Amino acid sequence: MEDNIYLEINFDFLKHNLDKLKNEMENQAIMAVLKGNAYGHGMIAVAKYIEDYVDYFGVGLQDEAVKLRSGCPEKPILIMSPYFDPDTVLDFNLTPCIENITDLKKLSERAAQKGKRAKFHLKINTGMNRFGISINEIPEFIGILSNLGNISLEGIFSHFAITYDRNPNFFMNQLNSFKKAISLFQDSGVDAPLIHMASSVPAIDVPESRFNMVRLGNALFGLCSPKKDLGLKTIAKLKGKVIDIKHLKKGEYIGYGASYRTKKDMRLGIIPIGFTNGFQVMREIGDYTLKEALISMLKVLYRYKIPRDMVYFGQKPLKIIGKGSMQFTVVDITDENSVNIGSELIFRAPTHFIPLNVNRRYIQKEKVFDPGVETLSR
């Protein structure tokens, strides 16, 4: 069944997006954020393609950084969470995120024992309250740092909890807090070559937030919707082939719970794709405010009355019939005589939900290639 389902990833579109972003941010260094297997697109393949066009790679976890280092031996890699093993980051030449004095001392001590010099980026907590040192702790941190050897502060960064358009006041409070933190280092004569706070949407919409480096993840893959339209393209499509066709009479039921009853004679296509492939998977409702919960409920009701198109044959949307299931989807092809066994359909699904059991197929200049074997033309 593997050949009947795959995620098609267009590297021409990836290069298009990168060019648009670099033109918009020509004065900033670019960190390509490749966490979560490059948002589902394939971390090593993407990294090898863009490494000559970006200045830094960023990942969320140490294990991701080690894997990425195996494919890209030279490019700097930042572990953006503060959980790391000093030996690992030193042995693989990785850049850790530091958020406290204890970890700073451990890294310095281990670097001295190995006869190496470790670089790190300091994470500042400006309001997201997940990782980072508080602004009140910065003076003590600077004092300790100045007395440690075998270690250098390469970068200072923070993370926006919300975009400007959703909450301008909160956004600007975070930005101003970060500026205050930077000034504390500058006033103490401590220089950090790289200053970064903005991820994709803030980097595009709020130039003031860019500093001298931006972290681009969603934007590379065309997965964000900033206010400023740069003409970014979604680079991936989930595709599946029709493996069977069923003919049902009017009044027959199909699917779990007998939830759908045919209103006419119907021709239905069967595709081996479902929850296990990341299709029709919904994100769980988290700790929402009452307002957010109500908005979410209204969206569900709206989609119940006006379902979003999820499956396409070319540009033509096809209706899903019956409830979703683990491994199969049924679509109405009654009026689409050109859809037959072997016909290829396109499925709407978030790439970061698509698991590794779905093959990635990379294309460039309308040709399929293997990024692990072939040389990419750029």
377 domain residue, yes or no: no
CA–CA separation, 211 and 224 (whole Å): 21
Residues 200, 269, single domain; the answer is: no
Domain assignment of residue 75, yes or no = yes
Tens-binned pLDDT, residue by residue, of the chain (378 aa)? 568 999 999 999 999 999 999 999 999 999 999 999 999 999 999 999 999 999 999 999 999 999 999 999 999 999 999 999 999 999 999 999 999 999 999 999 999 999 999 999 999 999 999 999 999 999 999 999 999 999 999 999 999 999 999 999 999 999 999 999 999 999 999 999 999 999 999 999 999 999 999 999 999 999 999 999 999 999 999 999 999 999 999 999 998 999 899 999 999 999 999 888 888 865 555 566 677 667 666 765 654 444 555 899 999 999 999 988 899 999 999 999 999 999 999 999 888 889 888 999 999 988 887 776 554 555
pLDDT at residue 300, as a whole number: 56
* Residue of 114, 104, 110 lying closest to 82 (CA atoms): 104
- Which class for 337: exposed (0-12), middle (13-18), buried (19 or more C-beta within 10 A)? exposed
Pairing status of strand 244-248 against strand 266-271: antiparallel
Q: 198 and 296 share a domain? A: no
- pLDDT at position 278, please? 85
Same domain for 258 and 198? no
How far is it, in rounded angstroms, from Cα 330 to Cα 160?
41
CA proximity to 31, closest of 126, 148, 154, 131: 154
Same domain, 187 and 97: yes
53 and 171 share one domain: yes
Q: Would you say residue 1 lies in a domain?
A: no
Residue 337 is predicted with a pLDDT of 94
| C-alpha–C-alpha distance, residues 95 and 84, integer Å | 10
Mark whether 305 and 156 lie in a shared domain: no
| 37 within a domain of the structure (yes/no) | yes
In a domain, 96, yes or no: yes
User: Residue 131 sits in which domain range?
Assistant: 11-223
Among the listed residues 357, 365, 363, 366, the one whose alpha carbon sits nearest the alpha carbon of residue 37: 357
Number of H helices, E strands in the chain: 10, 20
Query: Do 108 and 85 contact (CB within 8 A), yes or no?
Result: no
CATH number for the domain spanning 320: value is: 2.40.37.10
In a shared domain, residues 254 and 330:
yes
Give the end of a domain, one of 188, 223, 258: 223
Which amino acid, 217? G
Which position has the token pair 């589902």? 40
Our count of domains for the chain comes to 2
Q: Mark residue 277 as left, alpha or beta (left: phi above 0; alpha: psi -120 to 50; beta: remaining).
A: alpha
Q: Return d(Cα 217, Cα 223) in angstroms, integer.
A: 9
pTM: 0.89
- With respect to residue 91, please indicate whether it lies within any of the assigned structural domains: yes
Place of tokens 């750029």: 378
Query: Does one domain contain both 251 and 338?
Result: yes
Whole-Å CA distances, 174 to 127, 134, 179, 193: 6, 12, 9, 21
Q: 3-class DSSP state for residue 378?
A: coil
Q: What is the pLDDT of residue 375?
A: 47
Residue among 207, 17, 21, 194 at smallest CA distance from 123: 194
**Among 218, 205, 200, residue whose Cα is nearest residue 350:** 218
Inside any domain, residue 344: yes
CATH number at 71 reads 3.20.20.10
One domain, residues 143 and 275: no
Say if 63 falls within a structural domain.
yes
Last residue of a domain, one of 158, 192, 223: 223
DSSP state of 127: S
Residues 222, 11: Cα–Cα separation, whole Å:
12
If asked whether residues 16 and 54 sit together in one domain, one would say: yes
Same domain, residue pair 159 and 26: yes
Residue with token string 């480096």: 213
Are residues 178 and 34 part of one domain? yes
Q: Which of 162, 190, 223 is the last residue of a domain?
A: 223
